[in-house]
Amino acid sequence: MLYGQVHLTLPAWVHDAVDTARTYPRDEDKVTLAIALSRGNIEAGTGGPFGAAVFGPGDRIVAAGVNVVLPQHSSLAHAENMAYMLAQQRLQRARINQDDSGTRDGPYTLATSAQPCCQCFGATIWAGIDRLLIGARADDVEALTEFDEGPLPADWVGELERRGIAVVRDVHREGARAVLAAYGSGGGRHY
**Which is closer to a second copy, CB of 9 or CB of 23?**
9
**Which is closer to a second copy, CB of 13 or CB of 168?**
13
Chain residues in the site for a second copy (CB under 8 A): 1-10, 14-15, 18, 20, 61, 63-64, 69-70, 73-76, 81-82, 84-95, 100, 117-123, 125-128, 150-154, 156, 159
φ, ψ dihedrals at 143, nearest 5°: -80, -35
- Strand 131-136 vs strand 166-168: parallel, antiparallel, or unpaired? parallel
Is the peptide bond preceding residue 107 cis, with omega within 30 degrees of 0? yes
Question: What is the b/e burial string over 165-185, where b = at least 16 CB atoms within 10 angstroms of the residue's CB?
Answer: bebeeebbbebbbbbbbbbbe
**Which is closer to a second copy, CB of 76 or CB of 168?**
76
Instruction: Round to whole Å and give the CA distance between 161 and 7.
Output: 32
For residue 54, the minimal CB distance to a second copy (Å) is 10
Q: Is 137 exposed, middle or buried (0-12, 13-18, 19+ CB in 10 A)?
A: middle
For residue 56, the minimal CB distance to a second copy (Å) is 12
The residues pairing with 133 across neighbouring beta strands, listed in sequence order, are 111, 168
φ, ψ dihedrals at 109, nearest 5°: -125, 135
**Which is closer to a second copy, CB of 63 or CB of 138?**
63
Q: Which residues contact 98 (CB under 8 A, 6 or more apart)?
A: 104, 105, 128
**Which is closer to a second copy, CB of 163 or CB of 174?**
163
For residue 21, the minimal CB distance to a second copy (Å) is 10
For residue 133, the minimal CB distance to a second copy (Å) is 19
For residue 174, the minimal CB distance to a second copy (Å) is 27
**Which is closer to a second copy, CB of 19 or CB of 174?**
19
For residue 16, the minimal CB distance to a second copy (Å) is 10
